[in-house]
């Protein structure tokens, strides 16, 4: 069978990405012809600019190159696998979590740190693509550098499972973690929730539901460039609509498959936490955004809204980076530095939570 143009492009992209960490910054600038990209007061990271330029030369723009969601899933798996580092941690175990409507697959990353906290992690991918495997290296890095256990959750995806199926699984996994943290070797008093993009959306929704149902509140919400308003019409969605990894077209494609024909619509707080009537009483939050991300402004708005409701918020915007940067840490450059900073901040917040509980 003759490989498709997309298959060829993916293979070339994989080779390029594997080489990026080994190219000196001055050579990267030469390859870009000395040109830089500055928008809205931010200058794009050189490593990411070169990555994006390579994708665009191959005719790739965004996460979705095919209308078939199965093909989109395969494309992301190939991209994520092309620069994996296979970071060593204490142990990695695949397990099954009891959900409301059936078993949920999960992966536990164990740290050797005694009495370490546990992060329940939800992967990104617009609620349609992405998996435990696409975020394996990131979870390993959080486990190793954050000295925390990580439980990565393989929640149900759309369009096979429309909203709110993903958040039902996310919440069930969180409750399971609360009951079984000690068995995993983690501190049951310090269970955080977190994720990137759609996963951060789920973490925010889990925190809201835990408050409303009087379940234990997470020790921390780690919200990495969260989707907070499905129907948002922000300046950043327009300014970064194309050319910066996640496109506005991608967002609309994901949302159509997630909430189109679902039990809930895009204005429901169960999928758009920014639209919740009350954000008070939530867990402390570490909210992270990227300067060249169409989701930047709604992440900032959610941080502001929680802060105004009395929630402790640590908001960090990395102006030179794009959506997805925490998955690009193996490429070096600003993505690696920012990811290290985020993990360090997470560890500091969870250490502080432990001190408050002990005090």
Is 323 marked active-site? yes
**Per-residue pLDDT at 3:** 47
Is 293 marked active-site? yes
**Per-residue pLDDT at 58:** 77
Compute the distance between CA of residue 18 and CA of residue 235 in angstroms, rounded to an integer: 34
| Residue 148 CA neighbour count, 13 Å, CB half | 31
Compute the distance between CA of residue 214 and CA of residue 330 in angstroms, rounded to an integer: 39
Task: Return all residues near 251 (Cβ < 8 A) that are at least 6 apart.
Answer: 126, 227, 237, 294, 295
pTM: 0.95
Please say whether the beta carbons of 223 and 287 come within 8 A.
yes
Q: What are phi and psi of 183, to 5 degrees?
A: -65, -30
- 36 exposure class (CB count in 10 Å sphere: 0-12, 13-18, 19+): exposed
Please say whether the beta carbons of 45 and 334 come within 8 A.
yes
Please say whether the beta carbons of 284 and 185 come within 8 A.
no
Phi-psi region of 301 (alpha: psi -120 to 50; beta: other; left: phi over 0): alpha
Measured between its terminal Cα atoms, the distance across the chain in Å is 65
**Per-residue pLDDT at 355:** 86
Is 197 marked active-site? yes
Q: CA-CA distances (angstroms) from residue 327 to 68, 210, 222, 259, 296?
A: 23, 28, 15, 26, 17
Please say whether the beta carbons of 291 and 317 come within 8 A.
yes
Distance of alpha carbon 17 from the chain centroid: 20
What are the structure tokens assigned to 264, written together? 């809930």
Residue 143, number of CB atoms within 10 A of its CB: 29
Angle at 197 between CA 310 and CA 342, to 5 degrees: 65
Phi-psi region of 111 (alpha: psi -120 to 50; beta: other; left: phi over 0): beta
Compute the distance between CA of residue 63 and CA of residue 78 in angstroms, rounded to an integer: 12
Residue 297, number of CB atoms within 10 A of its CB: 21
**Per-residue pLDDT at 173:** 97
Q: Which of 197, 207, 236, 335 is catalytic?
A: 197
Q: Which of 152, 323, 335, 349 is catalytic?
A: 323
Residue 319, number of CB atoms within 10 A of its CB: 18
Q: Which secondary-structure segment (H or E) carries 38?
A: strand 38-39
Provide DSSP, 99-160: -SSSEEEEEEEEPSSTT--EEEEE--STTTS--TTTTHHHHHHHHHHHT-EEEEEE---TTT
**pLDDT tens track of the chain, all 359 residues?**
344 555 545 555 555 677 787 788 888 888 888 899 999 999 999 999 999 988 888 788 888 877 899 999 998 998 888 888 889 999 999 999 987 778 999 999 999 999 999 999 999 999 999 999 999 999 999 999 999 999 999 999 999 999 999 999 999 999 999 999 999 999 999 999 999 999 999 999 999 999 999 999 999 999 999 999 999 999 999 999 999 999 999 999 999 999 999 999 999 999 999 999 999 999 999 999 999 999 999 999 999 999 999 999 999 999 999 999 999 999 999 999 999 999 999 999 999 998 888 77
Q: Which of 293, 297, 320, 349 is catalytic?
A: 293
């Amino acid at each position: 069978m003759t490989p498709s143009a997309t298959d060829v492009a993916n293979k070339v992209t994989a080779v390029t990405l594997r080489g990026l960490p080994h190219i000196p910054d001055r050579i990267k600038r030469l390859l870009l012809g000395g040109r830089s990209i500055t928008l809205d007061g931010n200058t794009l990271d050189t490593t990411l600019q070169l990555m994006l330029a390579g994708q665009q030369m191959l005719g790739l723009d965004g996460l979705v190159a095919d209308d078939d969601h199965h093909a989109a899933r395969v494309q992301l798996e190939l991209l994520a696998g092309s620069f994996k580092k296979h970071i060593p941690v204490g142990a990695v175990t695949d397990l099954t979590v009891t959900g409301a409507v059936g078993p949920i697959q999960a992966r536990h990353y164990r740290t050797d740190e005694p009495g370490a906290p546990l992060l329940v992690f939800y992967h990104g991918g617009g609620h349609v693509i992405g998996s435990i495997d696409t975020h394996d290296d990131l979870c390993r890095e959080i486990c190793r550098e954050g000295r925390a256990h990580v439980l990565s959750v393989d929640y149900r995806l759309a369009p096979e499972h429309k909203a709110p199926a993903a958040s039902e699984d996310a919440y069930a996994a969180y409750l399971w973690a609360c009951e079984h943290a000690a068995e995993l070797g983690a501190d049951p008093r310090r269970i955080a929730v977190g994720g990137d993009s759609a996963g951060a959306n789920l973490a925010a929704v889990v925190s809201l539901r835990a408050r409303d149902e009087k379940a234990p509140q997470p020790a921390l919400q780690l919200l990495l460039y969260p989707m907070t308003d499905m129907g948002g019409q922000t300046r950043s969605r327009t300014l970064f609509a194309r050319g910066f990894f996640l496109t506005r077209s991608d967002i609309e494609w994901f949302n159509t498959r997630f909430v189109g024909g679902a039990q809930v619509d895009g204005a429901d707080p169960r999928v758009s936490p920014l639209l919740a009537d009350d954000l008070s009483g939530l867990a402390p939050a570490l909210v992270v955004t990227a300067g060249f991300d169409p989701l930047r402004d709604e992440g900032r708005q959610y941080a502001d809204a929680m802060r105004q409701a009395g929630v402790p918020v640590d908001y960090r915007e990395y102006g030179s980076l794009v959506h997805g940067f925490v998955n690009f840490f193996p490429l070096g450059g600003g993505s690696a530095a920012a990811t290290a900073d985020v993990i360090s901040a997470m560890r500091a917040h969870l250490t502080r939570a432990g001190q408050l509980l002990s005090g």
